[in-house]
Chains A and B, each alone.
Chain A
Amino acid sequence: MRGGVRSRAGAALCVVGLVATAAAGCGGGVDQRAVGVVRASWGDPQNALEPANTNEVQGGKVLDLIFRGLKRYDPRTGAAENMLAEKIESDDAQNFTVHLKDGWAFSNGEKVTAQSFVDAWNYAALVDNRQKNAAFFAYVDGYEKVHPVRGEATAKTLSGLAVKDPRTFTVKLRTKFSTWPDTLGYPAFAPLPRAFFEDHERWLRKPVGNGPYAIDAYTRGSVMRLSRWDGYPGPDKAENTGVELRVYTDNNTAYTDLQAGNIDLVDDIPSTQLRNVRKDLGNRYINQPAGIIQTLVFPLYDERWSKPGMEKVRRGLSMAIDREQITRRIYRGTRTPAGDWTSPVLGEKGGYQAGLCGEVCTYDPGRAKQLIREGGGLPGGRVTLTSNVDTGSHRVWMDAVCNSVNNALGDDHACTVNPVGTFADFRNKITQQRVTGLFRSGWQMDYPLIQNFLQPTYYTDASSNYGKFSDARFDRLVDEANAESDTGKAVAKFRDAERVLTALMPAIPLWYQNGNAGYTGDLSDVTLNQFSVPVYERIKVK
């Protein structure tokens, strides 16, 4: 074991170092670890770890370790498979009956029943509880009563939910939504134990779930130690004895720690290290597509961008961007040029179609220039790109995209960047519709369904439709797809809807974002799921 040799050599050097310079600290115990525990990098979760209140990756990682819902997305294929659900039945794509499997429990011994789900969902939907993922329950009947846009809630529970017996409950949706059961793998739909409601503060300090791991200790902002829960009844029992998640502020330090053998797994390779990562880690470097797409959205609420004929300009701009070169040069292959508005992780069956966007998403400076001229030119003769620049190397690609556009149009001043200092400020500008040029929009899927890529972002007045795109044909196709009870037919309808986007180009697809990870030789069977989160329970420790 390499770690062992190192620590002995380190201890010897330590004494010498202390005598010689007094500058070398000899922290004992950092190289020792419990047998079979995976030590992984982590980021500080934004919120307290409530399932319906966590909408970012770092908190999501923990939920994935300590919770299992009705469904779970196969980490390899992304298909929604039954986990706690025995079966979910419906005759009309609107009224569903959920049957639970027997023998499931929370790690504190309490049984998982239909009531555990119904209580959790009612808690999530009720506006008083301020859950950020409340909108996921908007499909359930009675949502507007427990979660009015303004004013007080007029009901405490969703009228669409009813417990039939300890292992059965029914759900009535507001509209037809055939693929609704496939959304239930999202962490917001997790069941909650009574302890959550009885002593909320205490539960938040040390959450208890029904997943393959249980939390041993949690120091907020620093470290979380989880160990395998031996009473876990599921088929995906942990292959290791536990997981230690360590918070890093800087992914460079995490990478350095990985090189020093101080941790075993990092799931965010710093961009400055991408050049060396293959040399450093060899085949212990993972780079695979995740369900994240970056787009440039047109502010269609601004009449200059939405007037008839402008779709030519919008299509032309898309053709002026050399995605191939930018992803290769700047991102060193950790982004894949986008050819549609979804993600390759969906697979052909799930609705992804390579090159659906066709020539419009292919670099062709000559045609780009021609289209923009035919459409009446850029509004005011120029365009700006807006994004936050505090993370994600956004400044670099924005400059590159602008360069590409300027070269294609033969005008050095056609495109300029408008960098915004912080993410918060950027989000404010977007939600208040204060951006007049193109702006970045990153979309990370909630569940691997084509519906999740198209409906929240391009449907008329949908929650994340920031450009205010609205098209009757697109909306009709999405409605039809949702009402279709056959999944294959539904996906085909969604694809038709996506073709409308090709013609009208409300947002330019830039690239699909990959998940990145690296690990030491002490681990094996390390994989990432479609959400670019390591599948911790499968990792084996030597």
Chain B
Amino acid sequence: MGRYVIRRLLQMIPVFIGSTFLIFFMVYALGDPVAALFGDKAPDPAVAARIRAELYLDQPLWKQYLHYMGQILTGDFGTAFTGQPVLELMGDAFPVTLRLTIVAVAFEVVVGIVLGVVSGLRRGRAADTSVLMVTLIVVSIPTFVSGYLLQYLFGVKWAVVSPSVPPEATFAELLLPGAVLGLVSLAYVTRLTRTSLAENARADYIRTAVAKGLPRHRIVVRHLLRNSLIPVITFIGADIGALMGGAIVTERIFNIHGVGYQLYQGILRQNSPTVVGFVTVLVLVFLLANLIVDLLYAVLDPRIRHV
């Protein structure tokens, strides 16, 4: 087990280097961002040259990359064009997005698994059919449509919540955006749980458990659900990274100043230090989430324990 973890951690190094280089290359290949800092006016050549030198933009790309990686290893993510250290931006943005992601994941886990169990145990009946119908609809609606719609209904029409989230962004304030963010994944979780449950319900060990005369709730929770959740956990694990990065749309709609907001601003202004820095952290989150998922397998099913 310990060796497995170490091997996985070592594997993360080339993935990390490769992905950061790709991001770096793509963002910087877009060209010189300094011209845009001057708006519709011509850049002052002397000032532009100074800014370029300060941001290390006057060097060849490979040198810029080495310089950047060197900085990152010492914990310095550079400075955004606004003069703020990127680390400071991250300190503001990541907690907000983390809270949003927690709300979204909690939402999709609780509601998704409950719905999946309900429909999985009642295959072919009315409850099952209607859950499938609803998930089909949810999957086919893009986030920005459901986002604007729910924002309008809850925020303006019924005035239950504020349509935008204040800068503090507490858990309570993030309930609606979190639900919107988790909505599509929720449908997948429901369908995965249902299918997996339906498959395992016919397995021998379940028949044995029934024959032993175990109470029904124990059969469902201890035997059926535990085995059926493996694909669901895989999905949720991969989804955590996707949700954090994919929060751009949701954060924009509800005016949440998190990772999505910073990435959006960074791309719009071609603010390379911000974009590369944030994506680098997202890559790390993604890698870690995947590692944790793999480790959880072993907990759920001792047979897949890696040696």
At the interface, yes or no: A252 with Cβ under 8 Å from chain B?
A: yes
User: In the assembled complex, how far is the CB of residue B103 from the closest CB belonging to chain A, in whole angstroms?
Assistant: 9
In the complex, are the beta carbons of B42 and A27 less than 8 A apart? no
**Binary A-proximity of B249-273 (CB < 8 A = 1, otherwise 0):** 0011111010001101101111000
Determine whether B37 belongs to the interface, using a CB cutoff of 8 Å to chain A. yes
> Which of chain B's residues have a CB closer than 8 A to the CB of A222?
92, 167, 257
Q: Does B44 lie at the interface of the complex (its beta carbon under 8 Å from any beta carbon of A)?
A: yes
Given contacts A250-B255, A253-B254, contact A10 B267 (CB under 8 A): no
A46 touching B82, Cβ below 8 Å: yes
Chain B nearest CB: distance from A10 CB in Å? 5
Q: Which residues of chain B (144-165) have a CB below 8 Å from chain A?
A: 148, 151-152, 154-156, 158-165
With a cutoff of 8 Å between Cβ atoms, the chain A residues found around residue B299 in the complex are none
Decide: B47 and A134 in contact? CB cutoff 8 A: yes
How many Cβ-Cβ contacts under 8 Å join chain A to chain B?
A: 187
Q: Which of B41, B49, B50, B176 has the most CB of A within 10 A?
A: B41
> Do B82 and A47 have beta carbons less than 8 Å apart?
yes
Given contacts A147-B46, A253-B164, whether A25 and B41 have CB atoms under 8 Å apart is no
**Complex Cα–Cα for A463 and B35 (A):** 13
Minimum CB–CB distance for B258 against chain A, Å: 10
Tell me which residues from 18 to 51 in chain B have a Cβ below 8 Å from any Cβ of chain A: 30-33, 35-47, 49-51
B81 at the interface (CB under 8 A from A): yes
Residues of chain A within 8 A (CB-CB) of B37 are: 46-47, 132
Instruction: Flag if B45 contacts A13 (CB, 8 Å).
Output: no
Q: Give Cα A30 to B30, complex, Å.
A: 40
**CB within 8 A of B81: which of A29, A47, A248, A463?**
A47
Nearest CB in chain A: distance from B179 CB, A? 5
A residues in contact with B163, CB < 8 Å: 253, 256-257, 259-260, 262
Determine whether the beta carbon of B31 is less than 8 Å from that of A27.
no
Is B175 touching A24 in the complex (CB atoms < 8 A)? yes
Contact, CB under 8 Å: B84 / A25: no
Measured CA separation A431–B35 after assembly (Å): 8
List, in ascending order, chain A residues with CB within 8 A of B107's CB.
23
Query: In the docked arrangement, what's the CA distance between A110 and B71, Å?
Result: 41
A-facing mask of B268-292, CB < 8 A → 1, else 0? Answer: 1110000000000000000000000
Residue-wise, chain B 196-214 has the 8 Å CB interface mask toward A (1 for contact) of 0000000000000000000
Q: Which residues does chain A contribute within 8 Å of B267, judged by CB atoms?
A: 422
Q: Would you give the 0/1 interface string for A284-312, flagging 1 where the beta carbon is closer than 8 Å to chain B?
A: 00000000000000000000000000000
A22: which B residues are within 8 A, CB to CB?
175
Q: Are B33 and A431 in contact (CB under 8 A)?
A: no
Asked if A444 is at the interface of the complex by the 8 Å CB criterion, the answer is yes
Among residues of B, the one whose C-beta sits closest to the C-beta of A431 is B35
Q: Are A250 and B173 in contact (CB under 8 A)?
A: no
Interchain CB contact (< 8 A) of A249 among B50, B82, B252 = B252
Contact of A127 among B35, B47, B154, B179 (CB under 8 A): B47
Is A466 on the interface with B (CB-CB < 8 A)? yes
The one of A30, A56, A253, A456 in contact with B252, judged by C-beta atoms closer than 8 angstroms, is: A253
Contact assessment for A17 and B160 in the assembled complex, using a CB-CB cutoff below 8 Å: yes
Task: Say how far B243's CB is from chain A's closest CB, in angstroms.
Answer: 17
A353 within 8 A of B: no
* Docked CA distance A149–B261 (Å): 37
Give the contacting residue for B155; candidates A148, A219, A260, A466; CB below 8 A. A260
Q: Would you call B124 an interface residue if the criterion is a C-beta within 8 Å of the partner chain's C-beta atoms?
A: no
Residues of A within 8 A of B51 (CB): 130
A56 cross-chain contacts in B, Cβ below 8 A: 39
Judged by a CB distance under 8 angstroms, whether A131 is at the interface is: yes
Give the CA-CA distance A320 to B234 in the complex, in Å.
60
Known: A130-B51, A260-B162. A247 touches B257 (CB 8 A): yes
Known: A23-B176, A25-B176, A256-B152. A424 touches B269 (CB 8 A): yes
| A424 and B36 contact, CB distance less than 8 A | yes
Asked if A390 is at the interface (CB within 8 A of a chain B CB), the reply is yes
Complex-state Cα separation, A47 to B92, whole angstroms: 18
Closest to B176 in A: A25
Residue B1 is within 8 A (CB to CB) of chain A in the complex: no
Identify the 4 closest CB pairs spanning chains A and B, nearest first.
A25-B175, A424-B36, A424-B270, A27-B173
Interface on A for B, CB 8 Å cutoff? 6, 9-10, 13-14, 17, 22-27, 29-31, 44-48, 55-56, 127-128, 130-132, 134-135, 147-150, 204, 219-223, 247-250, 252-254, 256-257, 259-260, 262, 390, 422-425, 427-428, 430-431, 441-444, 456, 463-464, 466
A-contacting residues of B (Cβ < 8 Å)? Answer: 30-33, 35-47, 49-51, 54, 81-84, 89, 92, 107, 148, 151-152, 154-156, 158-167, 170, 172-176, 179, 251-255, 257, 261-262, 264-265, 267-270
